[in-house]
Chain A
């Protein structure tokens, strides 16, 4: 699923999202919801310090009178990455407004609490909200920095294929609405706008995660870390330990592909797809089995992490000669399906290749590794495996782990390789 953060970028990345399919049932309540709560939705702007040019526009809400402004982490990610290059201002959408600083972040749930000058302000009081599938919700924010807008939609429960809960909101979120609230008719916050997959398929951070972060940020004795990136690294490290610790535990599921029995569904929250796409007049058959999750951690505008993906490709042919089949097998194995990366965030890949045996099968094994430059101790690892010893059948498997500790990459590599067997 192609998920886009609903953050407004001034320069580029204008995400074209479909318009709502008519204003379903034209809610009678919508004008009154807008009238009552519009003044509580804040426009947040991240500007480049030197030129003052706006880099990112997002939305947010005050949660108390003590100047605590809640928004998404990805709205202010530039400030976390380059604190000396960007600054944050907030206002009602008409004036540039006052400036704010980052108080606390939650990278995993994509939330941030900013500190603004204290004083009485219209705000939302966060509390657990009980809603049911199909309930009508209203999302507010500044789409494409066009001014405050209200979007109607329905609540559709939690996403099933994530480790950490995320709400499924059927309504059109657009870039710029990130950090804005999605509320009930009577103004209870259900979630914070975070991302969209287009066609009214939108996602919210549950209000419970926002309550937890606000509680942490406002606890007595809390001090913001001197370097926010260290906090990002700490949170990622804890997250990947919990997340990857759940993969390939005691009873690993397997799937039979051709003559092979291979590991699949690393954990219950993974979603696996299988297909043998018809590739026209080809003298071979390619069967694909792929497992992934909807979990992803936004670190910077071109860097996401925390992605785990497992792919198996089975190749079979009856008409190709053995030598030509191995040309196909080599080309499939050589194809690059590693995550892209940015020089500021990650190093180049370094790979090692060995012909290994796991006791039952000979496996051509490649491990490619790269390190995160700013987040010490975290790596991206890609393990590619090709099963050896067959003449006109082949298996290319890839396990991609991004934002993982070296110990976890080692543990999962060895665990993954042990699971390959003949049927």
Chain B
């Protein structure tokens, strides 16, 4: 067992230096002949001294300084015991006594080493592959958008879309990579950009798939929940992907964070749609999508089957009419 004197940083309370009491005395002051040199204009050249108290322990004793020794309670005293944990202000510098026998906390396991190799296949972790994914995704998005236009020239609209998307996603990837730089000390801009572009391209492809679904099977009760589930799944994957590059989280914690994000978005979305739900509208909502599918492949119903659909509509609007507006 030995007495340790810790000199603390005044702002953060972090320990700036440690000093072990090797012999019988330890001198503290601004002068260079002290054992502990304190670079503090409020400290005397020879300010205080640790020495035996004659009863087998040590005390910190004021050597007649101007500013003296002040305890944690703000009271100035000529002498302080050196029990572990005691803090004393010397000028503007705080010192704390410790016992060398106190066991330190266990080391924090470092998972930084596992990340790069385990989380991305090597071929994906190259700038070329990541730029390629971003560019490919942009082409897919623009192509699908172009298929949705019917003007003679859609160049202007598509250029606007491309520039808007690039601006937004560069900003998005920039935020994630700055966050990653802070947390993992690595700036992985192209990786984040590729993840964001890929997610958007999948969303665009899903949009086309769901249009075909709505065309072949209109008014299916499953369509809306399925659409919401796909979008939430995509957001989850997006968040988990960004976290893989920008954090030191384990896989389990990444996915937990992703699903929590989804749940929050689902709750917000539900709340927003409930708040916005208009009780009345004179604009009808219906599945208008048309697709060039040969009629031989399209499941159709006979005219006679439509009367049941009509009667169901009648029941619905009669129920609405019974409610007061």
Residues on A lying within 8 angstroms of B by beta carbon are 281-284, 319-331, 333-334, 336, 338-344, 346-359, 362, 364-373, 379, 382, 384, 386, 388-389, 391, 394, 406, 409-410, 413-414, 417-418
Contacts and interface: CB of A to CB of B under 8 A. Distances in A.
A47 B298 CA distance: 60
18 contacts: A282-B152, A283-B152, A331-B150, A334-B288, A336-B283, A347-B317, A351-B286, A352-B309, A356-B301, A356-B303, A356-B306, A366-B288, A367-B306, A386-B290, A410-B310, A413-B310, A414-B306, A414-B307
B318 interface: yes
B284 A357 contact: no
A352 B312 contact: yes
A341 B281 CA distance: 8
B219 A352 contact: yes
A236 to B, nearest CB: 15
Interface string B156-196: 00000000000000000000000000000000000000000
Contacts of B150: 283-284, 320, 324-325, 327-328, 331
Contacts of B41: none
Contact of B300 (A284, A339, A350, A356): A356
B219 A354 contact: yes
Contacts, number: 163
A84 to B, nearest CB: 16
Interface in B237-287: 279-287
A355 B290 contact: no
B148 to A, nearest CB: 5
B291 interface: yes
Nearest to B148: A327
A324 B152 CA distance: 11
A323 B289 CA distance: 12
A410 B307 contact: yes
Given A283-B152, A324-B150, A326-B290, A351 B301 contact: no
B320 A348 contact: yes
B298 A362 contact: yes
Contacts of A410: 307, 310
B157 to A, nearest CB: 13
B299 to A, nearest CB: 7
B149 interface: yes
- A344, A354, A362 interface centre (most CB from chain B within 10 Å): A354
- A325, A327, A382, A384 interface centre (most CB from chain B within 10 Å): A327
Given A324-B147, A373-B325, A388-B298, A352 B289 contact: no
A371 B280 contact: no
A357 B301 contact: yes
Given A283-B152, A371-B317, A388 B295 contact: yes
B107 to A, nearest CB: 60
B302 interface: yes
Contacts of B305: 354, 356
B298 A369 contact: no
Nearest to A350: B316
A365 B295 contact: no
B295 A389 contact: yes
Contacts of A339: 282
Nearest to B152: A283
A370 B299 contact: no
Contact of B218 (A281, A353, A359, A369): A353
Given A346-B282, A347-B321, A368-B284, 14 more contacts: A324-B148, A324-B149, A328-B150, A340-B282, A349-B285, A353-B286, A353-B287, A354-B306, A357-B295, A357-B303, A371-B317, A371-B320, A409-B310, A410-B307
A284 B279 CA distance: 39
A215 B271 CA distance: 60
Closest 6 CB pairs of A and B: A334-B288, A349-B284, A328-B150, A347-B320, A351-B286, A353-B218
A357 B282 contact: no
A362 B147 CA distance: 24
Contact of A388 (B146, B147, B290, B317): B290
Contacts of B151: 282-283
Contact of A369 (B302, B303, B306, B313): B313
A357 B310 contact: no
B303 A417 contact: yes
B283 to A, nearest CB: 5
A173 to B, nearest CB: 29
Contact of A418 (B281, B286, B303): B303
Contact of B284 (A338, A371, A418): A338
Contacts of B310: 352, 367, 369, 406, 409-410, 413
Given A283-B150, A354-B219, A388-B290, A348 B303 contact: no
Given A350-B320, A386-B290, A413-B310, A336 B303 contact: no
Nearest to B309: A352
A371 to B, nearest CB: 4
Contacts of A319: 152
- B216, B292, B293, B295 interface centre (most CB from chain A within 10 Å): B292
A342 B282 CA distance: 8
A326 B292 contact: yes
B117 interface: no
Nearest to B218: A353
B72 interface: no
Nearest to A351: B286
B314 interface: yes
B56 interface: no
B288 A370 contact: no
